[in-house]
Structure 1
Amino acid sequence: MRRRCVLGLSALSFGLLSPRRRGQAEGIDAAPVVLTVDGQVAGGETIDLTLEQIEALGFETLRTATPWTRGPQAFGGVPLRSLLRGLGVSGDMVASALNHYNVTIPAEDAERHGAFLATRLDGEPLRLRNRGPIWLIYPWSLRPELDQPPYHERAIWQLRRLEVR
């Protein structure tokens, strides 16, 4: 697991994944941007990421139940800490969804509580109709102490933007 994360971080740091900076030209065949990260980012830049770039930062599987689904399910995606480390940022975040729902995600949720950016369910990409393309979830089945309202409120689906503070 650690090796996959390091490989993803190395690929990002050497420009192999080259996240698009705001205003950078996009090719006709460019993959769609699914997440924008801004705020306290190195150089004060806004970073636009595709699903492929996010998953390249250390794709993992998390099997957990959620308050909105029946029974444990296999989610694929990237731990939030892997994304933040890959971009070289840290701190509390304001997460925003496509429907303009906003919630503050404390930095400790990434580092200590296992916040997870789910991009797939049973191997298939999450779609808008099933809370995608990115759903921030927690390992509720593995960590029952997180199965309470504050963490439910932070489980933002259709995540579109992270503003690092």
Structure 2
Amino acid sequence: MIVLKRLLFGSVLMALGASGAVAQEVLLTLTGAVADGEVKLTRADLDALEWHEIATSTSVTDGQPVFRGVLMRDILDRAQASGDTVTARALNDYVIEIPMDDFHEFDVIAALYMDGIALTPRDKGPVWIVYPRDDHSVLADIRYDMRWVWQLSALHVQ
């Protein structure tokens, strides 16, 4: 027990910078046609954007969970992204190309919460691309289901 406490205390100390503040973990990295070729976003960066909620059904959950996060187009605007396609990569190395038009045609969010609970890597987080499926009948198509990237870690814009 003492060893565990020392390990935890040591980890906390390592996370503290010279100022004593806890270092911000990068949640999402954008590369390609973005500002300076790479933009790393922390939770604080996402918190600075306008938050949205979507209540919608999914192909992997029951009912209509309420998702909370920021619009994908706002993230791309923040990164000064310009391109036609976004290649989304998950922590589990799932990769899919998503047309940039999706983010302008629909209010797609980068969800960080589902039903008020923060998403974690064990439960599709920390970031999950969520489409407003129930608001547009076209989004019930399996092509869009493939674009619901959970455990999102990176976007490459081209």
Normalised to the residue count of structure 2, the TM-score between the two structures is 0.82
- AA matched with 1:73: P
- How has the CA–CA distance of structure 1 residues 147 and 55 changed in structure 2, closer, same or farther, with 3 Å as cutoff? farther
Tell me what 1:157 maps to.
150
State how far apart, in whole Å, the 2-side matches of 1:140 and 1:65 are: 7
Does residue 88 in structure 1 map to residue 87 in structure 2? no
Look up the SS of the partner of 1:84 in the other structure: helix
**1:134 is matched with which residue: 116, 127, 144?**
127
Report the aligned-residue RMSD: 1.5
Specify every segment of 5 or more residues in structure 2 that has no aligned partner in the other structure, as ranges.
Answer: 1-14
Tell me what 2:8 maps to.
none
Determine which structure has more spread, i.e. the larger CA radius of gyration. 2
State how far apart, in whole Å, the 2-side matches of 1:144 and 1:119 are: 24
Does residue 77 in structure 1 map to residue 77 in structure 2? no
Look up the SS of the partner of 2:149 in the other structure: coil
Specify every segment of 5 or more residues in structure 1 that has no aligned partner in the other structure, as ranges.
Answer: 1-25
State how far apart, in whole Å, the 2-side matches of 1:138 and 1:88 are: 22
Superposed CA deviations along residues 66-112 of structure 1, whole A, max 9, x for unmatched, are 11000111100011111111222132110000011100010111100
Deviation at 1:141, TM superposition (A): 1.1
Identical amino acids, percent of aligned pairs: 35
Q: How many residues align?
A: 139
- AA matched with 1:140: R
Does residue 54 in structure 1 map to residue 46 in structure 2? yes
Deviation at 1:149, TM superposition (A): 0.9
Write out the 4+ residue segments of structure 1 that deviate beyond 6 Å after TM superposition.
none
Normalised to the residue count of structure 1, the TM-score between the two structures is 0.79
- How has the CA–CA distance of structure 1 residues 144 and 82 changed in structure 2, closer, same or farther, with 3 Å as cutoff? same
Does residue 66 in structure 1 map to residue 62 in structure 2? no
Superposed CA deviations along residues 129-157 of structure 1, whole A, max 9, x for unmatched, are 21000000110111121111110011110
